[in-house]
Amino acid sequence: MSEENFQRAEGKVQISHEQIQARIKELGKQISKDYQGQDIHVICVLNGAFLFMADLVRAIDLPLTVDFISLSSYGSRTQTSGEVQIQKDLNFSLKHKNVLIVEDIVDTGYTMSYLLKYIEMREPDTVKIASLISKPSRREVDVEIDYLGFEIEDAFIFGYGLDDQQYKRNYPFISSYKD
């Protein structure tokens, strides 16, 4: 769906495809500079971060490996339960690796806080977070985001990997419904 058709029919575009791609290029350059001469092990938090991770790894000019993990604290709800469950675990050892966690959105911070503790138990050399979106007004657990795409106010958003009841992940922009 095009941004124009979406805005006429359903809602408003919060962040355009062009804005997303430009910011990802900037993040890729910064990550490449920060890790110059090193390898990175990129962990994609499924399902929402898969598009962001795919574009981000193409913007990073360094040797890297990828892995995937799936966590849930929402289930089918729009509010977090505060309890995190691992639905798909990592496939590779993290010992002595530079880990970059790629997340779609850091909201309350519960899921990311849990994931950080889980990853740190696996003895990586470093752990950093790249998140496409941050909603600091909803934060209940403090989480430091090393590479941030966009900070937004509290709104239900979807598109570019983020879903609305598992749909609309394929929109190339981030949107919300009309008020």
Instruction: Look up residue 110 and give its two tokens.
Output: 């519960």
Q: Give the Cα separation of 2 and 170 in Å (integer).
A: 11
Which residues are catalytic, by number?
107
Contact, 62 vs 86, CB < 8 A?
Answer: no
Give the DSSP per-residue string, 74-124: -TTSSS--S--EEEE--SS--TT-EEEEEEEEESSSHHHHHHHHHHHTT--
Residue 10 token pair: 């359903």
